[in-house]
A and B are shown apart, each in its own frame.
Chain A
Amino acid sequence: MSGRETLLQALAERYPGAEAHDAGDRVVATVAVDAIRDIATMLSTVHRCEFGTLVVEEDNGGLLVRYFFHNQTGGGQLVEVIARTDRAELPAIGDQVHAADWHEREAEDMFGIHFRGHPFLGDFILHDTEWPEAVEPMRHAFDPSRRERQPGLGPDWQPRRLLREPGALAFPVGPVWADYAESGLWLLETPGEQIRQAHSRLFYKYRGVEKMAEGQIPEQAVLLAERFSGSAAFAHALAFCQAIEKLAGGEVPARAKTLRVVFAELERIRYHAMTIAELAGSTGLVVAKAMAQATEETLLRLTGEVCGHRYLFGLIAPGGLAWSPDHASLARLNQGLGDALAELGRLERRLVNSSSFLDRIEEMGTLAPDVAAIYGVVGPVGRASGRAVDLRRALPYAGYEDAAFSVPTEEEGDGYARLRVFFAEIRASADLIRERLAGLPDGPVAAPWSPQPGAGLGWVEAPAGAAFHWVRLDEDGTLSRWRIDTPGFRNWHAFHRAVEGAAFQDFPIILASFGLSVAENDR
């Protein structure tokens, strides 16, 4: 993207009535509803912006809809486009900026916004089986404690079918399936063996996290930030804390900043080890699965020993860290990490020399770079499809501003490319941890913080990719709006494109190679 001034100038020329200014951490433009499609297209094509996230808030009887865009590689440019609608109606941008497609479906379900021109609204977060269309849970008037039986369609609900040919059937996978799979439904349409159409019906695990946090103080809501997606707990709690810290001014102490990077990268390594174990297991390679699981368990024990909790719960707090591990345990972390890395290195060498394993993942579940770009796929899955998008680089945060680390990418976009990216990211994260621990400053890990009312956006590159947390605090210091945008929300959207064309027995392998959490997506 071009510089801020160029962008502001371009906005002023094209939309003489619009109000645009530099708001410190981002460029903010307030535009008329009818200009949304045009400006979104301009940002993504002319200025080569990535779609970031979409946030809807109630405002004096109307709705404020915020579209965030950011640059792809470096420079830290964030653009916020605000549109106000009083009639809960907006033009859809999903056909121009396809990454926004699921965001529009969510906003329709949660706020009842009608997106003109959107091809498929409804039955998304609130399943039509359980919920009538009129329920709009994120509106302030909705009482979240209400547990009334909802008059949904029940068994009358029928999945959408696209494939029309003799003998075609829709094969349901889920919501309870396989050995220990997360709950979700994948409808695979086939005339026999090949999957022609796949439809991911998620949100079986929708727990209403963002709604339940309303009225909570940040110290309480941070428990939810950690626990709505336990496998990426630290990443999401970090994004949440950063959103709040934007409202508090002040600086996070240097030691806390460094340790936040250390623990975020430790979580990434463990997350990827889990994905590798699942991928090996999905191909029936039990020894490799056992090796990867043994390393995952080693990393969990190491985390438990150093941080008191195997999944890093109870460590981060707004303003810094709740407490700091001591020198001896951090030295132990450094050493234990070295051993785990050596083990994973041995596993990688054996895996890439196992032709029977490679046969299952090479040219399998391919997400071509152009498709990945259309869907705005993030994280390791995007990087395996040639997209070098990484928020640690694009919008440096926490302590990544001065960190040197590699962002490995591959071009093929198949299962093997994703496997190579997972292993390469593990190495890069370990290097970064070692480098940060070597220069770890002394001092406190928590600073006093007193947030002012307002709203802030925090973001992280979670293990599975970009995550955004929008948090608004009221006068009394409690949350009045929280929107969590997760990497899964972006990548599950594109998942069907990797499955279509594959055979049935490849479905679990492709699923495992994406390394996505359903809990993280469902919230």
Chain B
Amino acid sequence: MTNWVLHGLSHGIRTTRWPNAAEEGAGVTPGRPRAGPGADDLARRCPSSALSADAEGVTVDFARCVHCQRCRHGDDALSWSRDFSWAARIRDSRPALPARFRRSLHVRYIDAGACGGCMGEVRLIDAPQYNMHRLGIFITATPRDADVLLVGGPVTEAMRWPLRDAYEAMPEPRRVVAMGVCAIDGGVFGTSFASAGGVAGEIPVDLVVPGCPPPPLAILHALLVVTGRAEASEATEQAP
């Protein structure tokens, strides 16, 4: 017979101290390319048009970068950051939720056609290394209890109505976070007969989290930005 409680306690605390201290553990993020010197040749290697080059150098559109790593290797490689605070506002973003949500934020995740990468990373914000509960973040089973709708994946034809229904069922004030490049503009799946592309085409979006997939800390960052507990990032980086 296993005493799970004692066994759990015997592991000690494994949780990151972020956001109160930096988290620089290897592999917590895939990282992403930084804008920098580079030529057309490098930009052409990018299969998702995230890189564009001019006389100043290479500009990065994070909303398109799928971490294919093709600009990471080779003689003219761009340097890659190891950050993860990626959540960015978009033009129609509503303001952050009021302060009373800072200790109790209920989130409903909607899989609108996500590949499993985003799904895996969302599940792990509950893992011991991240422990969303210490930040007052909870996952809820019903949109009626949700303050935030976290949506992953391009919105497929069959998920358009379930997504709208879920949003309609939420009480005010409510916010929507589109996570992953697919939820921003369809990503590698694009817009087609089967995919409506980004979430913003169906319901209002307040924050986007670039990444393919965004790692757990990027998702937590978005959920802190949504209540005004962290600064938003920029969705593009211009050549210096």
Contacts and interface: CB of A to CB of B under 8 A. Distances in A.
Interface stretch (A94-102, A177-185, A258-266): A177-185
B156 interface: yes
Given A311-B120, A354-B1, A293 B126 contact: yes
Interface in A202-217: 203-209, 211-212
Interface in B135-159: 139-141, 143, 153-154, 156-159
Interface stretch (B26-34, B52-60, B93-101, B226-234): B26-34
B154 A207 contact: yes
Contacts of B141: 177-179
7 contacts: A183-B110, A205-B114, A211-B194, A274-B120, A297-B130, A310-B215, A314-B68
Interface string B179-209: 0000000011111111110000000000000
B34 to A, nearest CB: 15
A365 B94 CA distance: 46
Most buried by A among B26, B27, B109, B162: B27
Given A175-B159, A304-B27, A207 B124 contact: no
A287 B159 contact: no
A223 B66 contact: yes
Closest 4 CB pairs of A and B: A230-B117, A304-B27, A301-B27, A314-B69
B194 A206 contact: yes
B88 to A, nearest CB: 21
A302 B27 CA distance: 6
B166 A176 contact: yes
A519 interface: yes
A166 B166 CA distance: 32
Given A180-B111, A519-B116, 6 more contacts: A131-B157, A150-B157, A205-B114, A212-B192, A293-B123, A351-B2
A519 B195 contact: no
B177 to A, nearest CB: 14
A204 B160 CA distance: 10
A288 B156 CA distance: 34
A522 B195 CA distance: 13
Interface stretch (A50-58, A140-148, A238-246): A140-148
Contact of A205 (B28, B72, B159): B159
Interface in A292-350: 293-294, 296-297, 300-305, 308-311, 313-315, 322-323, 350
A223 B165 CA distance: 32
Contacts of B156: 204-207
B47 A223 contact: yes
Interface in A93-115: none
A310 B212 contact: no
A293 B132 CA distance: 14
B119 interface: yes
A206 B116 CA distance: 13
A310 B116 contact: no
B90 interface: no
Given A301-B28, A310-B30, A520 B166 contact: no
Interface bracket on A: 35 or more
B234 to A, nearest CB: 23
Interface residues of B, number: 72
A379 to B, nearest CB: 16
A332 to B, nearest CB: 9
A130 B160 CA distance: 10
A353 to B, nearest CB: 5
Given A297-B129, A308-B30, A310-B30, A207 B194 contact: yes
B67 interface: yes
Interface in A191-209: 203-209
A297 B196 CA distance: 32
B128 interface: yes
A435 B32 CA distance: 33
B147 to A, nearest CB: 15
A313 B193 CA distance: 26
Nearest to B139: A179
B115 A211 contact: no
Given A205-B156, A212-B192, A294-B128, A313 B66 contact: yes
Contact of A208 (B72, B129, B130, B195): B195
Contact of B159 (A137, A183, A290): A183
A519 B114 contact: yes
A359 B193 CA distance: 46
Contacts of B27: 300-305, 310
A232 interface: yes
B26 A175 contact: no
B118 interface: yes
Contacts of A146: 193
Contacts of A208: 189, 192-195
Contact of A297 (B66, B110, B127): B127
Contacts of A177: 141
Given A183-B162, A293-B128, A304-B27, A223 B111 contact: no
